[in-house]
């Protein structure tokens, strides 16, 4: 594996972060480079990113975990998640496609039930359910939580 550096994002990273989020097709709202960490390979090559995103109800979401296609399968997403978990408060939430649920379970996340959800995530869960029932998306949206 190439030499990887995980660091706090700087303003100059914002274009790469935004481009990657759009390329992989995940939620582009709330992209504030000051909340992101980035992974660089070979000293300066942007390879991936992730953030801890606060919501107005006080909840925190691990979000925007993305790795450039040319760097996938090399453990970069795992490194990003591990780094974010070091400083993340609990409970910590995330949203993902159901096919990724098993991946996040390896880090201690479990599927949240409606009673556990703060206001922001209850709304997201309802929207996901509506989209599933209308067959707008082919995969179920999960809201997961890490309590410990």
State whether 97 and 143 are in the same domain. Answer: yes
State whether 73 and 95 are in the same domain. Answer: no
Total domains in the fold of the chain = 2
57 pLDDT above the threshold of 90: yes
How large is the average pLDDT for residues 71-82?
A: 96
Residue 8: how many other CB atoms lie within 10 Å: 12
CATH of the domain at 48: 3.40.630.30
Under 8 Å CB-to-CB from 98, ≥6 apart: which residues? 139, 140, 141, 142
State whether 51 and 102 are in the same domain. Answer: no
State whether 127 and 85 are in the same domain. Answer: no
State whether 47 and 59 are in the same domain. Answer: yes
Provide, rounded to the nearest whole percent, the portion of the chain with pLDDT above 90: 73
Instruction: Please state, in angstroms and rounded to a whole number, the distance separating the CA atoms of residues 145 and 113.
Output: 9
How large is the average pLDDT for residues 46-72?
A: 96
Mean pLDDT of the chain: 91
State whether 80 and 99 are in the same domain. Answer: no
Reported as a single tens digit per residue, the pLDDT across 19-53 is 999 999 998 988 999 999 999 998 789 999 999 99
Report the phi/psi class of residue 43: left, alpha or beta, with left for phi > 0 and alpha for psi in -120 to 50: left
pLDDT bin (cut points 50, 70, 90) of residue 119 is: very high
> What's the pLDDT at 129?
66
Question: What is the distance, to the nearest Å, from the Cα of residue 77 to the centroid of all Cα atoms in its chain?
Answer: 9
State whether 65 and 17 are in the same domain. Answer: yes
Q: Could you list the residue range(s) of the whole structural domain that residue 114 is in?
A: 90-148
């Amino acid at each position: 594996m190439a030499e990887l550096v995980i660091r706090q994002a700087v303003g100059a990273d914002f274009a790469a972060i935004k481009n990657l989020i759009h390329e992989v097709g995940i939620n582009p709202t709330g992209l504030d480079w000051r909340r992101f960490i980035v992974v660089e390979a070979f000293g300066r090559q942007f390879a991936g990113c992730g953030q801890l995103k606060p919501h107005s109800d006080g909840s925190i979401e691990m979000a925007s975990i993305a790795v450039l296609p040319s760097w996938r399968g090399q453990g970069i997403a795992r490194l990003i998640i591990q780094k974010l978990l070091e400083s993340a408060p609990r409970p910590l939430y995330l949203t993902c496609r159901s096919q990724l649920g098993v991946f996040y379970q390896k880090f201690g996340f479990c599927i949240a039930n409606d009673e556990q959800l703060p206001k922001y995530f209850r709304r997201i869960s309802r929207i996901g359910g509506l989209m599933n029932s209308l067959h707008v998306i082919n995969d179920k949206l999960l809201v997961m939580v890490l309590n410990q």
